[in-house]
Every structure is written in C-alpha cells, then in structure tokens.
Amino acid sequence: MILIAARSITQRLEYIAEIIFDRLLHVDYKIVTPENLSQAQTSHPDAVMINYSSSQNFSERQLSVPDENLLFETDIRQTTPTLANENFLKVKFSGQDYSGFSIDFDIFSSAFYLLTEYEKYANPKYDMHGRYDEMQYELYREKYHQLPVLHIYADYLWQKISVLNPKLKREENEFKYTITFDIDAPYLYRGRNSALQFAGFAKEVLTLNFSALKMRMKFISSGKDPYDVYDYILSGKSPMQFFFLMDRHAAEDGRHTFETPIYRELIKRISSANIPIGIHPSYTSYKDEDKIAFEKQQLGLITGKAITSSRMHFLKYSLPDTYRNLIDCGITDDFTSCPVHSPGFKNFIGIPYPWFNVVNNIRTELIIHPSMLMDVSLRKYMHLTPDAALEEIKKIISVTRSYRGCFGIILHNSTLSNFAEWKGWRDVYEGMLEYLIH
C-alpha cells in the first residue's frame, strides 16, 4: 500500500494518481488528508508514505515530493513552465529549489501537465489545417516526445518506493501492438464516374505521367485497382482496426462516401470479418458535433453494429470541444493521439488512458489510444526512403517495448499499394510485422 499525503483531494490529483499508480505501476494506493492521515497509517502500518507538500517538514522514512499547486487549482495558468533535461524531462512551475526533497520537482504536476496537453489549453498554436502545430511547442521542438515520460516517472517513483519498502510488488504491463488503417481513399479508380476518369486520364497525358497512365490502363483492362489491397491486409494475423471516412465536406476528404455502393460493400466485408472498426470523422467535423453524429450513424447503418471508436481525419482536434463532442455522440474510444511530424509519444504515454477535461476539471470515460507514428509522417514530413522509414519504425517499437507499452501505428491502404510515391513501402510493412512478432 502507498499513502499519498496531500493537503486536499482534488479531481486533478486523483486522476494523475490513477494513471501512475493504477495504470502504470498496478499497486494499491490511497490519497489521504491531514484529517485522516493517522487513521490511514494505523490501518496500513507497512505502507510507504509519500508526503506531497511544499513544506520540508518530513522524515527520512517518507518519500517527499514538492507541491507546486497546479493540481489544487481549477483554472488554467497562462504562464509557461520551465523544461529541464536532468537525466529525464522535468517540468518546473517555479524557480524554487527543492533539492532537499526525495524528488526535487513536482512529479505529479509535471505528469498531469504532459498527459493532458495542458499547454494547448493555455496557449493554442495552429498549423495550416487548424491542427495544433507541434513545432511551435518546445516539448516537441526539443524532441522530448521521443520517450514515454510518464513511464519514466512511474519507474523513477517505484525505485524510490522500493528503497523504503523492498517487499512491495508491482505488476508489469505487457507489450502489445495494434495496426490501424485509415481508409480515406478506398480505391484510386473504382467508383469514380466517367467524367472523373476522363479528367484523370487527360491530366496524366498532359503532364506526361506515364507511370500513372500505365496503372490506369492496367485498371481499365483488368479491373484491378492499386489501392485495393484488402485481401493482402486481411490475410495477416496481427491485431488491426479500420477507421472509415464517411462523408465529404472539403477537398481534403475522400471522394468515396457512405453513398458509394462499392465503398459500402467494402465496409460490410471488413466489418463482417470481425475486425474492429471505427468512424474517421471528416476534415471539418472536429468542431461540429452534428457532422460526427451523422457520419457515425451512417457507418452504423452500413454495418448494423454500434460504432464506439473514432479517429479524427488529419488528426484534427480542438480541446476540449472535439473530445466532448465525441463523448456526446457515444464514442468511448478515440485513436486520434499521434505525433504529426515525427515518431514519438504525443501525450508522453504509451498505453491507453482516460481523457481528462482540463476546462471542467473532470476525468471522463473516453479512453485515448495513442499511436506512435503515421506513415505520412515518415514519407511527407521526414522525407525518408522505405529503408530509412523501417529503421525509424523499429526504433520506436523498441522504445515502446522497453517500457511495456502498447505500440500503435497509423497506416493507409494506399501505403501498401507499391504505387507512385508509395513504391517499396509494402516491404516496410512486412519488415515492421516481422520485427513486432520477433
């Protein structure tokens, strides 16, 4: 048993204690206040005491952690904390010296700040798509996201706890993985009307794009669409999940919608294979609950199943509105969390966790499933060759495995087409699967 002695019990403190002690360490714990501390110690005489206080009035038999007040506030601070790399990332909310404490920074507030994306509430910065622009934030610019910092915090706490009571035992998480597919463009040619087919043909002729022209002619003669890789995907045995884009409200959305017959058949086929599926809400839906609800309804009507998972198109979300809208629409699991520009841990954690609404200060039942990288990031933003991309994937798998996390990757069916800009990427996929299995 671990007793966390704090001045009061707040939603923020309860939340981060759950993440660290329950979901990462799997140990019994209890938060106690001065009023019930003595009784708790009597009931648990062998418990390790964590004194979470700004006061230095503690004994050597306790683990002391400074309290910098963040977890006892209800508003959102506008000041930016200091980031320090001292063996690992520490978020410091004041310039005060805590060298006399067992842990010389507020590890609980630091964990809360990183996991909840607190800085995006306080200082939102956007890119051309309306996404939070990672490169404008120091945490990503300095590549702190390359490690699951909350796992490091949990392990560091456990080292300190074990010194005080070596008999305490923790339960380790197991490494797991899931391959996820966003179906933005289910087919390159199939399902397009004759006008679109002719326009594409004319463009390829005028631009002398002979490889694309050759592929189009091959489709016309054989009916084989290069993006139709579903037999190949479904022949695999790895855990997987599909997210379907259902409607078109912007140029960034696909041309196949819930009304396209061949797309509906594809969705039914994958759903009937008992593969988990979810909604991929369209480009402009991230602030529009009605659009999310409509698209979710359409996917449910096609499959005859309740739809409870989602991943936002273009990884667009707005805090807290998007997640709040998903909850209102009956979504229980969201897979949007993923770095855009490079592999890593967007929320500094490598396992699913419940979302905390910082505006309302409540822990919700919406479970966030982090992914560590996306295929488009490797090719478009990092400009990697297939061989170099596979090495990056192996690196982040190794990190996730070493911290016993749940590895997730975002792929698209087009990535496995071996066509145009994706030539050679099927080998990346197969190399990744082999590395995951072994």
Helix (H) or strand (E) holding 429: helix 425-437
Residues 271 and 260 in one domain: yes
| Cis status of the peptide bond prior to 320, with omega within 30 of 0 | yes
Residues 148 and 285 in one domain: no
pLDDT for the residue numbered 381? 94
Residues 348 and 242 in one domain: yes
The string of pLDDT tens digits covering residues 128-178 is 999 999 999 999 999 999 999 999 999 999 999 999 999 999 999 999 999
The whole-angstrom separation of Cα 67 and Cα 83 is 17
CATH number of domain containing 393: 3.20.20.370
The string of pLDDT tens digits covering residues 169-211 is 999 999 999 999 999 999 998 866 555 555 555 565 556 665 6
Residues 180 and 201 in one domain: no
Residues 270 and 417 in one domain: yes
The string of pLDDT tens digits covering residues 16-73 is 999 999 999 999 999 999 899 889 888 888 899 999 998 776 676 789 999 999 999 9
pLDDT for the residue numbered 45? 87
Residues 61 and 88 in one domain: yes
The pLDDT of residue 108 is above 60: yes
Average pLDDT over residues 293-319: 98
Q: Quick check: is 329 in a domain? A: yes
Residues 61 and 83 in one domain: yes
Average pLDDT over residues 404-423: 95
The whole-angstrom separation of Cα 423 and Cα 432 is 16
The pLDDT of residue 221 is above 50: no
Q: Is 385 left (phi over 0), alpha (psi -120 to 50) or beta?
A: beta
Average pLDDT over residues 251-262: 93
**CA–CA–CA angle 41, 43, 17 (5° rounding):** 65
Residues 219 and 148 in one domain: no
Domain that holds residue 218: 192-224
The number of CA neighbours under 13 Å toward the Cβ of 433 is: 15
Q: Which residue has the higher pLDDT, 320 or 59?
A: 320
pLDDT for the residue numbered 61? 78
pLDDT for the residue numbered 38? 86
As for how many domains the chain has, the answer is 3
Residues 368 and 398 in one domain: yes
What's the pTM value of the predicted model, to 2 decimals? 0.93
Average of per-residue pLDDT values in the chain: 92
Residues 216 and 291 in one domain: no
pLDDT for the residue numbered 196? 58
Helix ranges (H only) for 207-337 are 210-222, 230-234, 261-272, 289-303, 321-328
Q: Which residue has the higher pLDDT, 257 or 212?
A: 257
Find which of 97-106, 221-230, 306-315 is predicted with most confidence, using mean pLDDT: 306-315
The whole-angstrom separation of Cα 300 and Cα 260 is 15
User: How many beta carbons lie within 10 A of that of residue 434, not counting itself?
Assistant: 10
pLDDT for the residue numbered 209? 66
